[in-house]
């Protein structure tokens, strides 16, 4: 069952990916992430598999499920 896998196992299996970006803002269900190339997109919080800081000037890694990245148009 995928839900029982820990973050590292999900990355090793290719089910999620670490992307570099900046926290911009959030609403109750989603986080707006700005990539280092300037592109921004909303990601549902439940598909972010890492902790993140609510600091817009801090570049950080977000671990996000691959299928949601594909759905929002992120090139894997």
**Extents of the domains making up the chain:** 2-71
pLDDT tens digits, one per residue of 10-50 = 556 678 899 999 999 999 999 999 999 899 999 999 999 89
Q: What tens digit of pLDDT does each residue of 51-63 get?
A: 999 999 999 999 9
User: Quick check: 29 and 45 in contact, CB under 8 A?
Assistant: yes
| Close Cβ partners of 31 (under 8 Å, ≥ 6 residues apart) | 23, 24, 25, 42, 43, 45, 48, 52
pTM for this entry: 0.78
């Amino acid at each position: 069952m995928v839900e029982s896998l820990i973050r590292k196992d999900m990355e090793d299996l290719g089910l999620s990916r670490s992307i570099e970006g900046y926290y911009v803002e959030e609403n109750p269900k989603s986080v707006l992430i700005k990539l280092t190339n300037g592109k921004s997109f909303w990601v549902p919080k439940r598909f972010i598999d890492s902790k993140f800081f609510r600091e817009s000037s801090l570049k950080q890694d977000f671990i996000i499920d691959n299928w949601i990245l594909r759905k929002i148009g992120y090139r894997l």
